[in-house]
Amino acid sequence: MTTTTTPAASTNLRPLEMFGIDNLLDEDERDIAATVRRFVDTRLRPNLAEWFEKGELPGRELAKEFGDLGLLGMHLQGYGCAGTNAVSYGLACMELEAGDSGLRSFVSVQGSLSMFSIHRWGSEEQKQEWLPRLASGDAIGCFGLTEADFGSNPGGMRTTARRDGSDWILSGTKMWITNGNLADVATVWAQTDEGIRGFVVPTDTPGFSANVIHKKLSLRASVTSELVLDNVRLPASAQLPEAVGLRGPLSCLNEARFGIVFGALGAARDSLEAAIDYAGVREVFDRPLSSYQLTQEKLADMTLELGKGMLLALQLGRLKDTSGVTPDQISLGKLNNVREALAIARESRTIMGASGITLEYSPLRHANNLESVLTYEGTSEMHMLSIGRALTGQSAFR
C-alpha cells in the first residue's frame, strides 16, 4: 500500500538563515551587525524614500550619528577609531547598504578612502590633525582620484602638482566625488615630477571648490561632486609622505572595494526580503503570489546567489583578518557580489509587478543604486581583467 503525505508547513525562514550565517560569526560581530541594523531601521529607513526622491542626504547630521556609533574608520587602529576586525566592518557595510547604497558610500568614503589614505600613508602630524575629527564625525572627508576622462586608467590623470619654493601648487579637476560638497578635507592625487603623489587638502584653501552633480538617476541619497583645484597652494607638509605612484590610491580603493563586497549583499538581502513579504500578502487568482511555483523558483534562485555571495564575503573577510587578502581576491568578491545583487534587486522588482516601480518598495531603488556600485571602485570589466591576469599571467588591460 502506498501512502502519500503532504509536507508539513514550516516556519518561514529569512534567506540567510538557510545558510546558518549567524553560526559563522562571533558574538561581537553579531552584536555590531544587529546594532547597525537597528539604527538603519529606526533612524534612517523612514526617511530613505524621501531623501532618494529629493536627491539629498543630511550628511553633516548623519556624520555625527555615524561617529557616535563608531562606524567611521571603524576598522582602523588608534586616533579615536574603533579598531574592529574586517568582518565586523563588512557586516556594518552590509547593514548600511540594506538601507541604501548612499549610506554605505558615505561611511565607506569617509573610512576606507579619506581616513585610510591618511592612516596608511600620512605623516603623524596629518594623522593627529584629521583622524580623530573624522572618526567622530566632526569633520567629513572625500577622496579625489577619478577624473572625467580617467576612471579605469587613473595613471593618465591630468591634475598636476608643481613645486613653487617649498610649497606645492595643485591644478585640475576631479569627478564623481562622494561627499565632495560636504568635505572639510580632501585627499587629492596628482601628477608630479616624482610620479603620482597624494595631498591632504583642507577644502577652505583658496582655489578649491566643489560643485554638486545634479540630475542623477542613481545614488540620489548621496552627495556627488566635481572638485576644482585652481592653483591651490599647499605647504610641503600637505603631501602624504609615504605614498609614491599608484600604489597609494590603489591600496585605498582595495579597502573600499572590500566594504562593497559585503555592502552589495545588504541591498540584495533587503530586496529579496521585500519580495518575499510582498508575495506573501499579494493575492493572484485567489491565492497568495508566494504559493505559485514560478514565484518560488525566483525566490529560491535569488536565495542561493545571496547565500553564496555571503559565504564568499565571509571567506575574504577571514582572510583579511588573518593571512591577508589580495587585490585579485577582492576583485572576485566585488565582481560576483555586485553583479548578483543587481540581478536580485531587478528580479525582486518583477515579483512586485507595477507596485515595484514606486518608492514604497526598495528593490528598484536598490537596483538604481547598484548600477553605480557596479561601475565605481572598478568596473566589472576591469575586475574581470584583474582575475584573468591572475589566472593566466597575461595582462589584457591594453
In the chain, beta strands by DSSP E? 141-144, 160-164, 167-178, 185-192, 195-202, 208-212, 224-234, 239-244, 283-284, 287-288
Write down the pLDDT at residue 5. Answer: 46
Residue 242, pLDDT above cutoff 80: yes
Write down the pLDDT at residue 11. Answer: 67
Q: Domain 15-136 sits in which CATH superfamily? A: Acyl-CoA dehydrogenase/oxidase, N-terminal domain (1.10.540.10)
Output the pTM of the full model: 0.94
Local confidence band at 324 (pLDDT 50, 70, 90 cut-offs): very high
Catalytic, 377? Answer yes
pLDDT tens-digit series, residues 127-167: 999 999 999 999 999 999 999 999 899 999 999 999 999 99
Distances (CA, A) of 330 to 24, 95, 204: 20, 19, 35
Q: Are 134 and 203 in contact (CB under 8 A)?
A: no
- What's the whole-number average pLDDT of the chain? 95
Q: Are 162 and 169 in contact (CB under 8 A)?
A: yes
User: 248-392 is classed in which CATH architecture?
Assistant: Up-down Bundle (1.20)
Contacts 24+ apart (CB under 8 A), 322-330: 325/258, 327/250, 327/254, 327/386, 328/386, 328/387, 328/389, 328/390, 330/254, 330/257, 330/258, 330/261
Q: Who contacts 247 (Cβ-Cβ below 8 Å, separation ≥6)?
A: none
Does the domain at 141-244 match CATH 2.40.110.10? Answer given as yes
Q: What is the mean pLDDT of residues 29-38?
A: 98
The residue from 97, 371, 377, 381 that is catalytic is 377
Write down the pLDDT at residue 122. Answer: 97
Give the C-alpha separation, 56 to 72, whole Å: 20
Domain borders along the chain are 15-136, 141-244, 248-392
